[in-house]
Structures are given as structure tokens and as C-alpha cells.
């Protein structure tokens, strides 16, 4: 009898490794499918043979739309309900068969920004992140049961034994007793003056007692305050029993390119493999795939990377790592390097001149650091992969991972900054926000320049003694470049318009491109900007600016600013040749890329095909019937691909672009595919946002 029990127990352990330890056959109780983040469903009623019969089963409108945001979390299915969130801070449940609202509960913004989860604790409970921590909700009624005030969280918490494990945005990882609600431990991830942010990924493996957090970049494109090493752009394993760091692995050292590790770590059991039983797979914006031994963080593949020396920063006080890694295994699915000879050769003569003018100060290469003397042109700031991560294909003989990714170009810029004007804006903001807290957490740089706060700072600055007050500049140039020469730019939600900062310009190599009136007016003409200025006026203006910048430098009031922008051509499309987005499949045993396929298409306003393969911000899910469901492209389609070949086998146009990975559940004997369709945030997507949750099922199911 004892032997029989041991045999059964071992078989169960094997199944936990092979399948998903937290998904029932008809459930999806974590936004990533399960706590190991597989995004794989064992349901297979929808097959390659009948997928042509897949139709919308229902559409639910939440009635809540934000002009600049989208819902970026997949729904969950628990307690016979589909549970989702809105942008206004609500959690809601709908009937899985018809999409009718069952209950709605306000918890505060942002509600379930990138994930929510559930757990059977006496009765089914929901756990939803928000700006204060985690809100525990009764799934039957929607009643709030408790608020864990851990600090803001974006990713789904996970229950481990009697603990709820919470990955906060910038206050490390915390554990609370799920019964008493008391805090048990707190793992602080701050190291060498860097507080890493957890904004896209957290998973656990109960069999190992370890949790895995993915951290992003810190400090934007500069990092003057950092020490020799830190926990940014890293995968960090946490001992869930002891509340301490078990191991960590840093992908990029002293990152000043915003190349985060991304998505929920994917954990799976290879069962009997000599190198490692459990492995954890992490994706990156840079196009690398990290496969590590989940127990100790050692690379699964021998000689998977080499360290190479990289260029050092020219910014005073910026100390970068002398080495970065080049990854060979697994085979990268993308990279960050733009080839100026081949990536722009599709442009016509006029467009090529326009793009080359924008790239007049650009450098290209492997980890070129930002500088005031040049710009950096590269791929990668929106991926490679992004927050939506990938999915695990368990329908194959060997584990394979499906990766949606982007390949659109960017320019990274660094400039000098007038600290006096910068401090003015900060002081005014603090005073105004104290008396009138802002409704919006983020204003784009373009909107920011036109804000009352910025206008007031400019006004005060213009009356300060010794600040430059050149009449020609104030009359003809300050409306674009700012009264303090601070410049302004559009971000990726608006466009690529740039009026560059001019502070300290004469100290830089960039000045050589505009050191006389002829080159200055020629540059303005290329961007259809009228400029009427004489050589004498320009010389006088530059002389005043140079003297003032020398004073700023002497009194340590000359700082640095930096930002990134999309690199678009004259027609507003990504300047590099298509495709701008793809899906790849990687075999995690051999490390080889199995296939790459274009994903989505760009159509212009006249119905003309511009590109096969477009940027995507939705995600993927894989099924036991060897189908990949994918969404998030500007064409608003949800796609299905054959997981074996990568061939597209079905698509359907949604009301708005998909904004989160698909999920699947079973109800009344029918398999459903649900998808958030609330639009896209960035250039290339429709400006109108949506409030739609759509569920699909086979036509024969809908007729019953």
C-alpha cells in the first residue's frame, strides 16, 4: 500500500512538471495562464481543422476609456466567471457564456495593470494589484475583503503555501500571511544606489520554493549615481520560505539604453535532464533568450555568451561597464544594431535625404553609449520582446517558446541641460501639485512644454539676472526651442517631431553641423521650417549663448538630459525596411530558432500594403491543438498560426487592436478564446481607444 502511494505521488509530481501546476483543464486562474507563466492551454476543441468556424461568441463593453491608455492584462477564468479590469480602477466579472456583467468593484488605479490572479482559500479569492498594493476580492460577490498596503504593484501576486507574494514596482518583494494579513518578510532589491523596477514579470516554481522577478532598466539613458553593480536588468530568484535572494543574473551591466529584461519568466521541468531539472527562460528587448538553471541561475547552455569590450561614455562622471555579453545560445531572435547601408535602401531619394538629415549626428553599433556629441540609432526600445512576453509550446516533443517581437528603429539623444530652468520647473510642479494634485500621472514632453507650469517657469526664467535674452532668439526661435533653450520633442505616442535643446550646443561635436547660417537654414528647410536670420544676428546669438553656458559650467549648473524617439520616415512610417514585427519559435533544448514569420500588416489610408510585419503590443497564447493565437498589431486583427510551421491559418478583425495576450477557458463543454481589444498607445495605431473584451467560440457551440 505504501509503495502504491509513493508511486502515485511521484506520478503526480511528474505531471506537475509536464503540465501546469495551477491550471485546471477548464481554468485560467492567473493572467499568464499559471504561476509558471506558460500561457499555454490544454484545451484543444478548437483545432486546425475547425478553426475556420471560429466566431465571436460575445462582446462586452466596459464603458470606461482613457484617451492615452489601454488595458494590458489578460482576463482570468475562475469560479465560473471571466474576470477583468478597466482603466478607471474597476475589477469586474462577466458571464462566460454571454459576456453579461455580474458585478463590478472599484479598487483604485491602476487596477491589475499587467496581471491578476486567484486562489481557492476556503472560497475563491481574487488578488488584484493597484497603486497601493494588492486588493483581495471575493470572486462570488465582488466584495473587497482586504487591502495589502505593500506599495504600488503592476504584476499579479502569487499565493505560495500560506503566503501571498507581492512584487512591488520599486520597493522589492514582500510576503504576507494570507490568514493573519501580517507582513512576514521583505526583500529589498536596492543595490549601489539603484532601486530596480519590477514592472513586467514575476513567476514562481512551488516545487523549488523560488520566485523569479524580472527587473527593468533604471535612470533612463544616464546612470551617474550608480555603483559598480546593481540589480537592474536582471532575473532575481527569491527564496520564498526564507525571504532572501537565492541568486541573480544580470543581462546588461549599467544599462543606459532602456533594454529591459521583459515579460514573466517562463519556468518548466525538463524531467531527468542532466544539466537541469527546472529551467527558467527570460526574454529581452535586445532580442536575447536567457535559459538558466532555475535552482542556481547558471546558464543552461555551455558557452552561451562571451564578454566583449564596449565603448565608454564621453559624459563627464558616467562610468559604464567595460564589457557586455554577446549571446549565442539560445540563438537570438533579434538584435539592436541598425545597418545604415542596408536598412534604409528601400527609401526613395527624397525620403532618404529626409531620414539622413535626421541621422546626421548618428552612430551605429554594439552598445554605443549616448553622448552630447552624437546620437545613437538602434533597434530595441520597444523590443525585441516587450511586457507581454512569450508562451510555452508544450504540444511539441521538446519545449519550445513562441516570441512576438518588434523591430522598429529609434534615436537616443543626450543633451546639456540648464539646471536653473530645470529646478524652476520642479519647484513650480511641487507647489502646484500640493494645492492641486494632477489627475494625470504622466504628461508627454510635448504637452508638458505647453503646460501652465512650464510657461510660468519660462516667464520667471526670462526675468532672472544674467540669463541670455537675445532679442532675435526670443522673437523667432523660443516658440520652438523654449525660452531657456530646453527644446521639446514628441514621444512614441505622438510622433517624432523634435526641436532640439540648444544649451551648451557650442561645446559639442553636433555644433559643427550648424556652425554657420548656411548650414542652419538648410537644416530648417529640410523640415519645412522658415528661418530668416543673418550671419551677424546668428554670430551675436551664439556669442551670448556661449558666454552664458560658460557661466553655467563654472558654477556647476550645466547638467545632462536625455531621451529617445521613434525614427520615422517622411511619411510617418518606421524608417528602416520592413518587417517591423514578427513571431519566432525557439527550441529550448537545441537553442535553435525553428522559424520566424511576419506578424500583422500595415495598410495606408488608401488601402495600399506598406509592410508585411508590423509592431505589436498584444501577445500570444499556445494551445494543445498546436495553434498560436496572437494579437496586438495596428491592423486590429487577432491571428492564428500553425505552431509547427508558423503558417497563418486564421484571422479576424477586432473592433480595436488587441492590447493583451489571449486566454482560453472552457464553459458548458465549449472552448472559448478571450481577448482584450482596447487599442494601441503608439504611433501607427488608431488614436481612438476602446473598452472591449471579446470572446470567440466555434460556430457549432454557438448554435447549441
Note the pLDDT tens digit of each residue in 248-257.
999 999 999 9
The residue ranges of DSSP E strands in 86-138, in sequence order, are 90-94, 101-106, 117-121, 123-129, 134-138
pTM: 0.93
Note the pLDDT tens digit of each residue in 173-190.
999 999 999 999 999 999
Within the chain, all domains assigned CATH 2.140.10.10 are found at: 23-336+380-408+572-703
DSSP state at residue 341 = T
Residue 452 reports pLDDT greater than 90: no
Q: What is the pLDDT of residue 224?
A: 86
508 grid coordinates: 559639442
- Measured over the CA atoms of residue 34, residue 258, residue 193 and residue 430, the dihedral's sign is negative
**Whole-number Å distance between alpha carbons of 105 and 269:** 38
| Angle at 601 (CA atoms; ends 598, 603), nearest 5 degrees | 160
CB 405 within 8 A of CB 581: yes
**Whole-number Å distance between alpha carbons of 290 and 588:** 10
**Whole-number Å distance between alpha carbons of 679 and 685:** 7
Note the pLDDT tens digit of each residue in 496-522.
999 999 999 999 999 999 999 999 999
Q: What is the pLDDT of residue 588?
A: 93
Cα separations in angstroms, 695 against 70, 77, 229, 625, 692: 18, 12, 46, 18, 10
Confidence category of residue 546, pLDDT binned at 50, 70, 90: very high
Note the pLDDT tens digit of each residue in 548-586.
999 999 999 999 999 999 999 999 999 999 999 999 999
- Residues in a beta bridge with 650: 640
**Whole-number Å distance between alpha carbons of 264 and 381:** 18
23-336+380-408+572-703 fold: Methanol Dehydrogenase; Chain A (2.140.10)
**Whole-number Å distance between alpha carbons of 184 and 683:** 44
Q: What is the pLDDT of residue 352?
A: 97
Q: What is the rounded average pLDDT for all residues in the chain?
A: 92
Confidence category of residue 26, pLDDT binned at 50, 70, 90: low
CB 132 within 8 A of CB 89: no
**Whole-number Å distance between alpha carbons of 328 and 344:** 27
Confidence category of residue 435, pLDDT binned at 50, 70, 90: confident
463 grid coordinates: 526675468
| Interval 597-619 mean pLDDT | 94
Note the pLDDT tens digit of each residue in 307-345.
999 999 999 999 999 999 999 999 999 999 999 999 999
Residue 56 reports pLDDT greater than 80: yes
Residue 378 reports pLDDT greater than 60: yes
Residue 225 reports pLDDT greater than 70: yes
| Angle at 402 (CA atoms; ends 71, 40), nearest 5 degrees | 70
Amino acid at each position: 500500500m505504501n509503495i502504491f502511494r509513493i508511486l502515485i505521488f511521484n506520478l503526480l509530481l511528474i505531471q506537475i512538471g509536464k503540465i501546469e501546476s495551477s491550471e485546471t483543464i477548464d481554468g485560467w486562474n492567473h493572467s499568464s495562464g499559471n504561476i509558471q507563466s506558460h500561457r499555454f492551454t490544454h484545451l484543444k476543441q478548437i483545432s486546425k481543422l475547425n478553426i475556420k468556424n471560429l466566431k465571436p461568441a460575445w462582446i462586452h463593453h466596459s464603458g470606461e476609456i482613457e484617451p492615452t491608455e489601454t488595458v494590458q492584462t489578460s482576463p482570468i477564468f475562475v469560479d465560473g466567471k471571466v474576470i477583468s479590469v478597466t482603466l478607471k480602477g474597476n475589477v469586474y466579472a462577466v458571464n462566460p457564456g454571454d459576456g453579461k456583467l455580474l458585478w463590478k468593484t472599484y479598487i483604485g488605479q491602476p487596477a491589475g495593470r499587467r496581471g491578476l490572479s486567484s486562489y481557492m482559500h476556503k472560497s475563491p479569492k481574487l488578488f488584484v494589484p493597484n497603486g497601493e498594493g494588492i486588493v483581495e476580492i471575493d470572486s462570488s460577490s465582488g466584495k473587497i475583503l482586504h487591502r495589502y498596503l505593500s506599495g504600488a504593484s503592476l504584476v499579479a501576486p502569487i499565493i505560495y503555501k500560506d503566503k501571498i507574494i507581492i512584487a512591488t514596482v520599486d520597493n522589492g518583494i514582500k510576503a504576507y500571511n494570507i490568514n493573519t494579513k501580517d507582513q512576514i518578510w521583505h526583500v529589498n532589491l536596492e543595490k549601489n544606489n539603484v532601486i530596480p523596477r519590477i514592472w513586467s514579470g514575476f513567476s514562481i516554481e512551488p516545487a523549488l520554493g523560488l520566485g523569479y522577478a524580472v527587473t527593468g532598466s533604471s535612470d533612463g539613458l544616464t546612470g551617474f549615481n550608480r555603483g559598480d553593480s546593481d540589480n537592474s536588468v536582471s532575473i532575481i530568484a527569491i527564496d520564498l520560505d526564507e525571504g532572501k535572494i537565492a541568486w541573480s543574473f544580470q543581462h546588461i551591466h549599467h544599462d543606459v539604453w532602456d533594454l529591459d529584461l521583459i515579460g514573466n519568466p517562463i519556468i518548466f521541468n525538463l524531467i531527468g535532464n542532466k544539466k537541469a531539472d527546472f529551467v527558467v527562460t527570460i526574454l529581452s528587448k535586445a532580442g536575447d533568450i536567457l535559459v538558466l538553471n532555475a535552482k542556481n541561475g547558471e546558464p543552461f547552455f555551455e558557452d552561451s555568451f562571451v564578454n566583449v569590450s564596449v565603448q565608454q561614455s564621453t559624459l563627464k562622471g558616467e562610468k559604464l561597464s567595460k564589457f557586455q555579453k554577446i549571446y549565442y545560445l539560445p540563438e537570438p531572435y533579434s538584435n539592436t544594431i541598425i545597418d545604415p547601408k542596408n536598412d534604409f535602401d528601400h527609401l526613395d531619394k527624397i525620403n532618404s535625404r529626409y531620414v539622413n538629415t535626421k541621422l546626421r549626428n548618428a552612430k551605429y553599433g554594439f552598445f554605443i553609449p549616448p553622448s552630447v556629441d552624437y546620437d545613437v540609432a538602434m533597434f530595441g526600445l520597444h523590443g525585441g520582446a516587450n511586457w507581454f512576453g512569450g508562451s510555452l509550446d508544450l504540444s511539441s516533443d521538446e519545449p519550445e517558446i513562441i516570441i512576438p517581437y518588434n523591430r522598429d528603429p529609434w534615436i537616443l539623444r543626450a543633451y546639456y541641460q540648464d539646471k536653473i530652468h530645470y529646478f524652476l520647473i520642479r519647484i513650480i510642479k511641487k507647489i502646484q501639485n500640493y494645492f492641486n494634485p494632477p489627475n494625470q500621472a504622466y504628461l508627454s514632453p510635448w504637452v508638458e512644454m505647453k503646460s501652465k507650469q512650464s510657461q510660468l517657469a519660462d516667464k520667471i526664467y526670462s526675468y532672472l539676472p544674467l540669463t541670455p535674452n537675445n532679442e532675435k532668439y526670443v522673437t523667432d526661435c523660443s516658440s520652438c526651442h523654449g525660452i531657456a533653450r530646453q527644446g521639446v520633442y514628441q514621444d512614441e505616442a505622438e510622433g517624432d517631431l523634435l526641436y532640439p535643446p540648444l544649451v551648451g550646443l557650442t561645446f559639442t561635436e553636433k555644433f559643427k553641423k550648424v556652425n554657420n547660417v548656411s548650414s542652419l537654414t538648410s537644416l530648417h528647410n529640410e523640415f519645412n521650417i522658415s528661418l530668416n536670420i543673418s550671419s551677424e544676428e546668428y554670430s551675436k546669438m551664439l556669442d551670448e549663448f556661449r558666454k552664458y553656458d560658460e557661466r553655467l559650467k563654472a558654477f556647476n549648473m550645466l547638467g545632462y538630459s536625455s531621451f529617445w524617439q521613434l525614427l520615422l520616415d517622411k511619411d510617418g512610417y518606421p524608417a528602416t525596411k520592413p518587417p517591423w514585427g514578427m513571431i519566432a519559435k525557439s527550441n529550448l533544448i537545441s537553442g535553435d530558432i525553428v522559424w520566424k514569420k511576419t506578424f500583422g500588416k500595415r495598410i495606408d489610408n488608401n488601402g495600399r500594403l506598406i509592410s508585411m510585419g508590423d509592431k505589436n503590443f498584444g501577445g500570444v497564447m499556445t494551445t494543445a491543438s498546436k495553434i498560436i493565437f496572437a494579437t496586438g498589431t495596428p491592423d486590429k486583427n487577432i491571428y492564428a498560426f500553425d505552431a509547427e510551421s508558423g503558417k497563418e491559418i486564421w484571422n479576424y478583425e477586432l473592433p480595436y487592436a488587441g492590447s493583451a495576450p489571449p486566454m482560453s477557458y472552457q464553459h458548458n463543454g465549449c472552448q472559448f478564446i478571450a481577448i482584450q481589444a482596447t487599442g494601441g498607445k503608439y504611433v501607427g495605431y488608431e488614436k481612438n481607444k476602446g473598452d472591449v473584451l471579446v470572446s470567440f467560440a466555434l460556430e457549432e457551440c454557438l448554435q447549441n
